Protein backbone atom coordinates (compact mmCIF):
# COMPACT_ATOMS: atom_id res chain seq x y z
CA UNK A 1 0.00 0.00 0.00
CA UNK A 2 1.41 3.39 -0.98
CA UNK A 3 1.94 5.86 1.83
CA UNK A 4 1.13 9.52 1.44
CA UNK A 5 3.81 12.18 1.80
CA UNK A 6 2.28 13.24 5.11
CA UNK A 7 2.45 9.71 6.55
CA UNK A 8 6.13 9.47 5.65
CA UNK A 9 6.88 12.35 7.97
CA UNK A 10 7.21 14.98 5.27
CA UNK A 11 5.30 18.20 5.56
CA UNK A 12 2.61 19.42 3.23
CA UNK A 13 3.50 20.18 -0.38
CA UNK A 14 3.79 23.73 -1.69
CA UNK A 15 0.48 23.21 -3.47
CA UNK A 16 -1.25 22.16 -0.24
CA UNK A 17 0.19 25.19 1.57
CA UNK A 18 -0.83 27.56 -1.22
CA UNK A 19 -4.38 26.18 -1.47
CA UNK A 20 -4.73 26.15 2.34
CA UNK A 21 -3.71 29.80 2.55
CA UNK A 22 -6.09 30.77 -0.26
CA UNK A 23 -8.95 29.00 1.51
CA UNK A 24 -7.97 30.64 4.84
CA UNK A 25 -8.06 34.12 3.29
CA UNK A 26 -11.30 33.44 1.45
CA UNK A 27 -13.01 32.04 4.57
CA UNK A 28 -11.78 35.01 6.63
CA UNK A 29 -13.09 37.48 4.06
CA UNK A 30 -16.46 35.73 3.74
CA UNK A 31 -16.93 35.64 7.52
CA UNK A 32 -15.74 39.24 7.97
CA UNK A 33 -18.07 40.58 5.26
CA UNK A 34 -21.01 38.66 6.70
CA UNK A 35 -21.76 36.94 3.38
CA UNK A 36 -23.27 33.97 5.22
CA UNK A 37 -26.76 34.84 6.34
CA UNK A 38 -26.93 33.17 9.71
CA UNK A 39 -27.83 35.39 12.68
CA UNK A 40 -25.56 33.39 14.96
CA UNK A 41 -22.54 33.74 12.66
CA UNK A 42 -23.25 37.41 11.96
CA UNK A 43 -23.02 38.12 15.69
CA UNK A 44 -19.59 36.47 16.00
CA UNK A 45 -16.13 37.56 15.04
CA UNK A 46 -14.24 34.41 14.04
CA UNK A 47 -10.53 34.21 13.33
CA UNK A 48 -9.37 31.60 10.83
CA UNK A 49 -5.83 30.85 11.97
CA UNK A 50 -4.85 28.10 9.55
CA UNK A 51 -6.32 25.77 6.95
CA UNK A 52 -4.72 22.38 6.35
CA UNK A 53 -5.54 20.61 3.10
CA UNK A 54 -5.20 16.89 2.37
CA UNK A 55 -2.75 15.90 -0.41
CA UNK A 56 -5.64 15.27 -2.83
CA UNK A 57 -7.12 18.73 -1.96
CA UNK A 58 -10.50 17.15 -1.21
CA UNK A 59 -10.67 17.99 2.50
CA UNK A 60 -9.76 21.31 4.11
CA UNK A 61 -9.60 21.58 7.90
CA UNK A 62 -10.00 25.14 9.12
CA UNK A 63 -8.66 25.97 12.57
CA UNK A 64 -10.86 28.75 13.93
CA UNK A 65 -11.33 30.70 17.13
CA UNK A 66 -14.14 33.10 18.04
CA UNK A 67 -13.01 36.48 19.36
CA UNK A 68 -12.10 36.21 23.02
CA UNK A 69 -12.22 32.41 22.84
CA UNK A 70 -15.81 32.33 24.08
CA UNK A 71 -18.67 30.26 22.64
CA UNK A 72 -16.32 27.85 20.89
CA UNK A 73 -18.85 25.04 20.48
CA UNK A 74 -21.49 27.50 19.31
CA UNK A 75 -19.09 28.85 16.65
CA UNK A 76 -18.17 25.36 15.41
CA UNK A 77 -21.85 24.38 15.27
CA UNK A 78 -22.73 27.53 13.28
CA UNK A 79 -19.86 26.95 10.83
CA UNK A 80 -20.84 23.29 10.36
CA UNK A 81 -24.46 24.29 9.83
CA UNK A 82 -23.38 26.70 7.06
CA UNK A 83 -20.70 24.44 5.56
CA UNK A 84 -22.46 24.20 2.17
CA UNK A 85 -22.80 27.95 1.80
CA UNK A 86 -19.18 28.49 2.91
CA UNK A 87 -18.04 25.86 0.43
CA UNK A 88 -19.94 27.60 -2.40
CA UNK A 89 -18.39 30.94 -1.43
CA UNK A 90 -14.91 29.38 -1.55
CA UNK A 91 -15.49 27.77 -4.94
CA UNK A 92 -16.82 31.07 -6.32
CA UNK A 93 -13.75 33.02 -5.13
CA UNK A 94 -11.15 30.41 -6.06
CA UNK A 95 -10.17 28.68 -9.28
CA UNK A 96 -10.09 25.11 -7.97
CA UNK A 97 -11.67 22.37 -10.04
CA UNK A 98 -13.55 21.11 -6.95
CA UNK A 99 -14.29 22.91 -3.70
CA UNK A 100 -12.91 20.85 -0.82
CA UNK A 101 -15.12 19.46 1.92
CA UNK A 102 -14.74 21.76 4.92
CA UNK A 103 -14.02 20.62 8.46
CA UNK A 104 -13.82 22.99 11.40
CA UNK A 105 -11.69 22.63 14.52
CA UNK A 106 -10.90 24.98 17.37
CA UNK A 107 -7.49 26.61 16.98
CA UNK A 108 -5.70 25.78 20.21
CA UNK A 109 -2.49 27.62 19.34
CA UNK A 110 -3.21 30.45 21.78
CA UNK A 111 -4.07 28.00 24.57
CA UNK A 112 -0.75 26.22 24.04
CA UNK A 113 1.11 29.54 24.05
CA UNK A 114 -0.56 30.51 27.35
CA UNK A 115 0.37 27.13 28.84
CA UNK A 116 3.97 27.55 27.68
CA UNK A 117 4.16 31.06 29.17
CA UNK A 118 2.77 29.75 32.46
CA UNK A 119 5.32 26.94 32.47
CA UNK A 120 8.23 29.35 31.91
CA UNK A 121 6.86 31.63 34.64
CA UNK A 122 6.98 28.76 37.16
CA UNK A 123 9.75 29.40 39.71
CA UNK A 124 11.19 25.86 39.47
CA UNK A 125 11.45 26.01 35.70
CA UNK A 126 12.99 29.51 35.80
CA UNK A 127 15.64 28.29 38.25
CA UNK A 128 16.50 25.39 35.93
CA UNK A 129 16.72 27.65 32.89
CA UNK A 130 18.81 30.28 34.63
CA UNK A 131 21.17 27.78 36.33
CA UNK A 132 24.74 27.79 35.02
CA UNK A 133 25.85 24.79 32.93
CA UNK A 134 27.58 21.99 34.81
CA UNK A 135 30.63 22.52 32.56
CA UNK A 136 31.08 25.96 34.08
CA UNK A 137 29.76 27.69 30.95
CA UNK A 138 27.04 30.28 31.27
Domain parsing of the chain, residue ranges: 14-107
Closest to 47 in 3D by CA, of 66, 22, 69? 66
Burial class (CB in 10 A: 0-12, 13-18, 19+), 81: middle
Q: pLDDT tens digit string along 78-113?
A: 999 999 999 998 888 777 778 899 999 998 875 555
Q: What is the DSSP letter of 36?
A: S
Q: Judge whether 111 and 105 are in contact, CB under 8 Å.
A: no
* E strands, 67-138, in order: 101-106
pLDDT at position 3, please?
45
Average pLDDT, the chain: 82
Asked if residue 63 has pLDDT above 60, the reply is yes
Q: For the chain, give the percent of residues with pLDDT over 70.
A: 77
Model confidence, pTM: 0.71
Q: Per-residue pLDDT averaged across 64-79, rounded?
A: 88
Closest to 107 in 3D by CA, of 4, 35, 28? 28
| CATH hierarchy code of domain 14-107 | 3.30.300.20
Amino acid sequence: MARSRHEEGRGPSQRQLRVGELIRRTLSDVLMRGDIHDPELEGMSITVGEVQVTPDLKIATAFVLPLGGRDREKAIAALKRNKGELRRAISKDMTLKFAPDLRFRIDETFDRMDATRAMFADETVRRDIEAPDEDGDE
